[in-house]
Structure 1
């Protein structure tokens, strides 16, 4: 795993190219502390730069930028091609004079042999790359199928910039960091800025599964409009799977999934450096660790963190699973002070505003893990493709009940029950469910009730879903001059016709929440400490198989991930796993009323906001007052504002 950057910009000296590329690359030293390199062709106006975290082929044979054997292509590449050994064998190796054992060299040979578009379809992996075609004078930018690895690009006068992060783009002398108010409005709804948008004007994220071809002839035109082309579409896979559901019995499906996941894990255990896994004790991470241990002659190194606060600690569950599987387990209990010390680092980690507060424990877990290994496997993706979120197995049933009730009646009902503070709901419900088996107990039930009550006033199930995943329900009321653009959730041009609403929610989560939130969080948090994270569940073969299954194999009897659980039960007793799903959370609501209050109020200062001219302080201060009073838990809305304000302060924008 590495960091890549570069630019297209004609009419500059060699000194300019050398200095600018090196300065841009240096901003990503955390992504690649082991090696660096640049390549440029001043006559063509193209330059590439690379920072390397050595994982496969630790020798100079893996140095980038790298030129293909034919001399036609030059590449900078971030990520891993896990099937590179199989590809190497299929490329007539007797005809190629291999210089090393890296996957990068295999990629270039594949481009030489099959062409860019055809080669990309053969890759099993996580990747973002920039490829210069000397013959056609074209630059290709490409991102992996699910969006595991990031890639930004930005239009500048008479040129183009790109990078794994925004930092190298911001370092370019011609980049103008103008905040995009429309994108900012999206941030306040989603806690992230969905692709293809970014916080800056004329700057975009490349969508997952797409390839952008940039011609030097077209770029100087003021009317140039980037048009990435999809080589693989998660949405198309989901729709095709539902139209052509495979005919297979449940037990056969379990065996097939076990086989696919085993192979996905096996490929991702290939490494020339120490390797381990995150372990929370939940279904996803436990499945990955179980399959790792089943294919390893050594004890797998596993890592977890815990909090002492009740309701926020999964460390005990992880320890039980680790003990059963016989892993070499390391856990760390984090104090509030430890977590709070991370906050000043968040803006530099995430480049642009990002406010999923689980970013804090994810970073702390990555930091712990990096002290022991360089590569780590993660269980991310299981919820999105196997129906693991509560909304996937509850919401369709709820909608089928409430849709017959007039919206005004639903609204009155919601307001009546919202008059009871969340902590009062917590106290009442904890007493009621204390006699139930542990798997039926919920964490923070008051917040869940409030979220549901907010959503049941919607006129359609789609609006109910959108309301549930929104932080600020009307972000245009707080972003001055901001107007939310279309996203892949709101764009009516998308053909999102599914057999049922549950599959529709899962598909939307797969193409939005997964890449824009979950994978962004994991990439920035792990690469911030130079840790490579791999996600076997998001092997595209697993994703395609999961979507070909009928819904009842994934969601049944108000429980999600049915088939994935059955795979796990082959390795871990059911009793160790069955418990309510919990997020990777911190007690942020109480921290904001306590140790973080002074910091928060310094960023929420009314005069400061008015001088900035970006945010309307009125609605923000009302939410803050509600939160401080304890009448409502407004941690998500307030954290959105705080993360934006801290980002703006640190970057001085």
Structure 2
């Protein structure tokens, strides 16, 4: 589990701190076995576990610096290529000397000395950062603009403890694990725990583009970067197309780095585009990897094969079986430091594992394309709902709504039922309208959770958090407001952790070409109509790549590596047993009502396996998360 951890404001000396920081760092290397570099002073310590090219540490003059990732630093200085001075200038302990290859951490330290507020602004790309000034009791924590890396923190008296994994953070004696019912409630609502919250009391996480300053025992947070949309047309289509194609090549090249790499290939527009650009940049066929399922309506291997044949990639396939799912479930529960309920982590893991067996150490993913260029189906659906706002209020209230809702026997007529549903959804404000089909909302919190558990959770918090994020962006168009929301909730909180952790479980790194700073800035300059033209999704993206991507891929419906869990659950006995055992054990935790679990598996699942299977998965993975770390109950 690559990443960093540490603290400031605690300890009796460097020797004792070294023992503690090494213990904290154990979870960071649990899956990929990367070397660990440690730094320690009298009242602070840092540890960083990563491959050499992503590990940057420096210590000198009472300052400890760790940078995880391969960011660019725009400090006006070329990389020094020098190691640190003996003693104070290098990492100590296991993995000694990691990060000395380019002097990045030392350059960050110099910039911090000159202008602390400029450090985050001048760092680009994916990173997590920690700077500790032991003598002054001053610290800076930060993560990248897209939230590719996560960073949790907790204050305890005069100390600040932090880690990119909560599994490491709770190993510090000042921040022991204590489950937060709100975190679990948010998990069941969203199928993940969205930042800034965590599943532990007292712990918080930084948001994308956010940094934290710790001084004199106090915490100050600020947003150093936020997505700003320029919705006025500035360039012709041909100019934009040329810029886009050049950015694709440079972003893929940067993401690939110098190590053996391959790419996920689902056959969708994003993964196919990356595969095609990879092939453009290489004289030899590049490696692409796909997952299939022997389940009707779930397997899209034909599109991956089409993309591979079109671009001439060296393609590799694996068909995930129900037995594979049974084997993966406990491992998925272990690798995530928060409960995580996106079942697509399973096929992503098997895809990455297949690549790792071929000697690949970095996988490129197409994540971010939908959230930058307008590719999710809900964008077009919300556009249709928003049209209702354009109908004059008097006409809506005096004519349309009375006619639809008072129509005789309307509930028996399909057209009238659809009209009622449309009006009901269209009348909801954004972003609450996006949660119309939320599973927890459909069942009702009081039907799902025990009364004792609900006493410690705010059932309105999930929607309030969405509304807060929605309000942070002032874009004038509906599509850009939705994109800004999804960059946080769908991408940073869900899709990126899914791919990164699935890759980590396979001892693999993940990189995302669409999330380069320049690509993100380019997408912000596109007009709203270039992203969503009526109900046409990612209009510019597809038009700019006509002739490059196969037409069948441009016009296909979005799918991806969805797992047929509900379908298999009805037929595969070992999967049934694992799910039932997990849910049975979950009953004893007094979080979910036993009656609800019984109804879920005894009635609802038979009514609609795909829909209700999702709730089975979410609850099963909560229990698996508990089991894998023997976490305390709330």
TM-score normalised according to structure 2 size: 0.85
Decide whether aligned partners of structure 1 residues 409 and 476 sit closer, same or farther in structure 2, where only a CA change above 3 A counts.
farther
Q: Are 2:273 and 1:296 aligned?
A: no
From 61, 65, 82, give the equivalent of 1:75.
65
Q: Are 2:547 and 1:573 aligned?
A: no
Shift of the alpha carbon at 1:74? 2.3
From 425, 435, 445, give the equivalent of 1:456.
425
Structure 2: state its 5+ residue gaps.
Answer: 85-97
Whether the 8 Å contact between 2:470 and 2:481 is mirrored in structure 1 is no
Partner of 2:29, secondary structure, is coil
Q: Distance in 2 between matches of 1:476 and 1:162?
A: 35
Partner of 1:65, secondary structure, is strand
Decide whether aligned partners of structure 1 residues 117 and 14 sit closer, same or farther in structure 2, where only a CA change above 3 A counts.
closer
State the partner residue of 1:641: 619
Whether the 8 Å contact between 1:281 and 1:317 is mirrored in structure 2 is yes
Partner of 2:38, secondary structure, is strand
Q: Are 2:454 and 1:480 aligned?
A: yes
State the partner residue of 1:604: 583
Q: Distance in 1 between matches of 2:437 and 2:116?
A: 40
Whether the 8 Å contact between 1:357 and 1:585 is mirrored in structure 2 is yes
Q: Distance in 1 between matches of 2:310 and 2:344?
A: 27
- CA deviations 1:253-309 (Å, max 9, x no partner) are 2222222222222222222x2122111111111111222221223322211111121
Q: Are 2:294 and 1:308 aligned?
A: yes
Mapping for residues 373-392 of structure 1, pairs under 5 Å: 373-392=360-379
Mapping for residues 280-295 of structure 1, pairs under 5 Å: 280-295=266-281
Decide whether aligned partners of structure 1 residues 416 and 16 sit closer, same or farther in structure 2, where only a CA change above 3 A counts.
farther
Q: Distance in 1 between matches of 2:39 and 2:563?
A: 44
Q: Are 2:265 and 1:265 aligned?
A: no
Whether the 8 Å contact between 2:53 and 2:99 is mirrored in structure 1 is no
Shift of the alpha carbon at 1:627? 2.5
Shift of the alpha carbon at 1:468? 4.0
Decide whether aligned partners of structure 1 residues 280 and 507 sit closer, same or farther in structure 2, where only a CA change above 3 A counts.
same
State the partner residue of 1:118: 118
Decide whether aligned partners of structure 1 residues 502 and 493 sit closer, same or farther in structure 2, where only a CA change above 3 A counts.
closer
Mapping for residues 411-426 of structure 1, pairs under 5 Å: none
Shift of the alpha carbon at 1:492? 8.2
Partner of 2:267, secondary structure, is coil
Partner of 1:78, secondary structure, is strand
Shift of the alpha carbon at 1:415? 7.4
Q: Distance in 1 between matches of 2:330 and 2:424?
A: 33
Q: Distance in 1 between matches of 2:339 and 2:318?
A: 28
Q: Distance in 1 between matches of 2:406 and 2:70?
A: 50
State the partner residue of 1:152: 152
State the partner residue of 2:435: 466
State the partner residue of 1:33: 33
Whether the 8 Å contact between 1:153 and 1:203 is mirrored in structure 2 is yes
Q: How many residues align?
A: 590
Q: Distance in 2 between matches of 1:228 and 1:560?
A: 36
The 10-residue stretch of structure 1 (383-392 or 3-12) with the greater mean CA deviation from structure 2 = 3-12
Shift of the alpha carbon at 1:480? 2.5
Decide whether aligned partners of structure 1 residues 647 and 387 sit closer, same or farther in structure 2, where only a CA change above 3 A counts.
same
Shift of the alpha carbon at 1:545? 2.0
State the partner residue of 1:49: 47
Q: Distance in 2 between matches of 1:30 and 1:415?
A: 56
Partner of 2:506, secondary structure, is coil
State the partner residue of 2:104: 106
Whether the 8 Å contact between 2:214 and 2:220 is mirrored in structure 1 is no
Q: Distance in 2 between matches of 1:314 and 1:141?
A: 42
Shift of the alpha carbon at 1:546? 1.2
TM-score normalised according to structure 1 size: 0.82
- CA deviations 1:358-390 (Å, max 9, x no partner) are 111111112112222111211100111111111
